[in-house]
Amino acid sequence: MPLQPPPPIETLTRTFLDAYARADASAVLALTDPDTLTVYGSDVSEFVQGRAAFLAMLANDARLWQNSAHIGPMKHISTVVSGDIVATIFFDATFTVGDRPAVPIRCSLVWQRHGRRWLLRQASNTVPTTGQSAAEILAHH
């Protein structure tokens, strides 16, 4: 039986997001590069390199969220695959914790091919502002 091709980057990204939201460390680690993982969280203090630091960030998020986090559907998806070596995905989504109002998030992930698998190498997420674009500010002047 021939090997199945890896799932599309969008599918891997969704799997990663869901595993992170439910604080499934095993599932998250299975999708990350063991040697060169770098993650920029939504707070300036959340810059981590390596799996140990990433797991510490995940543990803190899990304690804060208490199994009530949810990342909504990905929107405005932009994916670029460079051969079969590197793939990037940028997207917007919503993030909720418990019954708090949804917060918009903007994410960027870089996946790298390792044999037949894609592993997450870099990730960044931000909470974008609303009403602060140059066009919106200029419209009020």
* Rounded mean pLDDT for each run of 10 residues along the chain, 141 residues in total: 65 96 96 94 92 95 94 95 88 96 96 92 91 82 78
Distance CA 115, CA 123 (A): 21
Structure tokens at 98: 């418990």
- Name the E strands within the chain: 38-40, 47-49, 69-71, 75-82, 86-97, 103-114, 117-126
Q: How far, in Å, CA of 134 to CA of 14, rounded?
A: 32
Structure tokens at 133: 């674009």
Specify whether the CB–CB gap between 23 and 136 falls below 8 A: no
CA nearest 85: which of 124, 120, 114? 114
Instruction: Determine contact, residues 31/54, Cβ cutoff 8 Å.
Output: no
As to burial, measured by CB atoms within 10 angstroms (0-12 exposed, 13-18 middle, 19+ buried), residue 120 is buried
In the chain the domains, ranked by start, together with CATH numbers, are: 9-139 (3.10.450.50)
- In this predicted structure, what is the pLDDT of residue 7? 67
What pLDDT shows up at residue 46? Answer: 92
Contact 118, 87 (CB under 8 A): yes
Comparing CA positions, the residue from 98, 92, 97 lying closest to residue 78 is 92
What integer pLDDT is reported at residue 84 of this predicted model? 73
CA gap 141, 137 in Å, rounded: 7
Q: What pLDDT is stored for residue 92 in this prediction?
A: 97
